[in-house]
Structure 1
Amino acid sequence: MAAGALEGKVALVTGGSRGIGRAIAQRLGRDGAIVAVAYAREESAAGEVVADIAENGGRAFALRAELGRHGDARRLWAAFDARIGEYTGEPVVDIIVNNAGIGRSAALAELTEEDFDEVFAVNVRAPFFIVREGLGRLRDGGRIINISSGAARLAMPEIIAYGATKGALDTFTLNLAKELGPRGITANSVAPGIVDTDVNAGWLRDDPAAQAHAASLAALGRVGRPEDIADIVAFLASDDARWVTGRVIDATGGAGL
């Protein structure tokens, strides 16, 4: 992809303050997009992402967006509208990356109704209404990129609800591609496997045996890095991916082959 491939584009990245979302925001910023870095609680971390993008010649701003409650999408877009005019003069967006999500490591017998409701509210309902509320802002030829998971296609009973949310997200992606295709808008999912982020640090980084096992699950023989996922998202966001839509892009390094 050429440098500045996203120049003039506006991107919204949810969960953009850390991990995969942080890497995505930074990469889109380097490619020239104006990036809205949405975060739930970690204001200082979101500020670091904005500062990093600025230091590399890009433009970005942070948005507080706690997801999982009714009205969350409307509040997110209201905050977006209040800031984006500083850069574009009107409330528009070209790239929506639904990255924010939570996991619930509980098997069927242990999962509570409250935990089930919360994981679906953040991982499914929030992306659904973020897209719905954002359609009036999303320019023709835009991109919707949903961060799914390899857990949507692999049986993992220990995270059964999480896997179900990602399966639902993939179905949402498929239908968006069909509905929005006439406007030249593409919709795709990216499905990571095990990625070395701070969310996984407790069981992965400090345990060589866990690292070795995680690496052995991938055909490429290592644990994923946030940048691996961000680079795929950058491709899907670019004009190079204009003919790709309705797909789930496996980003597990070949797990489960």
Structure 2
Amino acid sequence: MRQSKIALVTGGSRGLGRDMAINISKKSIDVIITYKTNKELAEEVVREIEKNGQKAKAFQLDTNNIKEFGDFFNRIASYLTNEYGSPNFDFLINNAGTGINQLITETSESQFDEMLNIHFKGVYFLTQKGVSYMNNKGGIINISSGLTRFSFPGFSAYACMKGAIEVFTRYLAKELGHRKITSNVIAPGAIATDFGGGMNRDDQEKRQNIVNITALGKVGEVEDIGGVVAFLCTEDARWINGQRIEVSGGMLL
């Protein structure tokens, strides 16, 4: 009989996804991560998880290519069946994504479509396929953004897709409730990663502006997010459902 539950984290090779995957493993949960191109970074995360005493596996996936999803889950199911005797997993963390900083008047249709496919359509249909492989009493965690609550010029396309994800999450909570699968949103504030060109990490003027509008007076780090996602994968979080949890240090209160 399988001892550990299993979480699938998309975009788990770097940044927020990496920290989520490692923190989830600290909750005695095995982890599957996806990566788009950098297999070496993904394997480093696998080794970190194994140091925590949990099993881990990395799979290549481009969440912009929805036609790949069927084959992806076939590969996942084959691995899980061989390793655990069942094709099912427990938690789905939809984290993979890219950023764009472009004013509405300058956003091209191709840029808009990329945001749509990665952040909304991709998440929608990856989840649609994934739920049939999920065990009852599991959980779905979607990653949104503080930018759905407050507005900064240049992020309209990205933020619109994240707003759609927040609505989608509430519907998931309603439609999967009979299976006791919870669905929640984590909405990070400004985090110092390479996301969106690394502005929150490298642009000192922007960093100071973030400090000035954040109650805790600092720019967020990846370590501020992963533990919250890991908590939602535990039994202690079983009664949290259909919620948007902003993890921003109190930005623009």
Q: TM-score, normalised by structure 1?
A: 0.93
Residues 179 and 202 (structure 1 numbering): CA distance in 2 closer, same or farther, change over 3 Å? closer
- Asked if residue 114 in structure 1 is aligned to residue 110 in structure 2, the reply is yes
Secondary structure of 1:250's aligned partner: strand
Residues 154-181 of structure 1: per-residue CA shift (max 9 Å, x gap): 1223110000010000000010001111
- Asked if residue 24 in structure 1 is aligned to residue 20 in structure 2, the reply is yes
**Aligned pair partner of 1:190 in 177, 186, 189:** 186
- Asked if residue 126 in structure 1 is aligned to residue 122 in structure 2, the reply is yes
Structure 1: how far apart are the matches of 2:57 and 2:235?
A: 24
Unaligned runs of 5+ in 2: none
Structure 2: how far apart are the matches of 1:182 and 1:204?
A: 41
Contact 2:100 2:196 in 1 (8 A): no
Contact 1:65 1:75 in 2 (8 A): no
- Asked if residue 176 in structure 1 is aligned to residue 172 in structure 2, the reply is yes
* Partner AA of 2:152 in structure 1: M
- Asked if residue 250 in structure 1 is aligned to residue 246 in structure 2, the reply is yes
Residues 35-69 of structure 1: per-residue CA shift (max 9 Å, x gap): 10111111111000001111222210000001112
Return the offset for 1:235: 1.2
Contact 1:156 1:163 in 2 (8 A): no
4+ runs deviating over 6 angstroms: none
Unaligned runs of 5+ in 1: 1-6
Partner of 2:136: 140
Secondary structure of 2:90's aligned partner: strand
Structure 1: how far apart are the matches of 2:24 and 2:155?
A: 30
Residues 106 and 209 (structure 1 numbering): CA distance in 2 closer, same or farther, change over 3 Å? closer
Partner of 1:75: 71
- Asked if residue 92 in structure 1 is aligned to residue 67 in structure 2, the reply is no
Aligned length: 251
Contact 2:213 2:252 in 1 (8 A): yes
Residues 153 and 88 (structure 1 numbering): CA distance in 2 closer, same or farther, change over 3 Å? same
Between 1:81-90 and 1:176-185, the stretch displaced more is 81-90
RMSD (Å) for aligned C-alpha atoms: 1.4
Partner of 1:150: 146
Return the offset for 1:79: 2.2
* Partner AA of 1:114 in structure 2: S
Structure 2: how far apart are the matches of 1:233 and 1:174?
A: 17
Structure 2: how far apart are the matches of 1:215 and 1:46?
A: 32
Larger helix fraction of residues? 2
Partner of 2:98: 102
Between 1:50-59 and 1:8-17, the stretch displaced more is 50-59
Q: TM-score, normalised by structure 2?
A: 0.95
Structure 1: how far apart are the matches of 2:185 and 2:178?
A: 19
Contact 1:72 1:126 in 2 (8 A): no
Return the offset for 1:31: 1.4
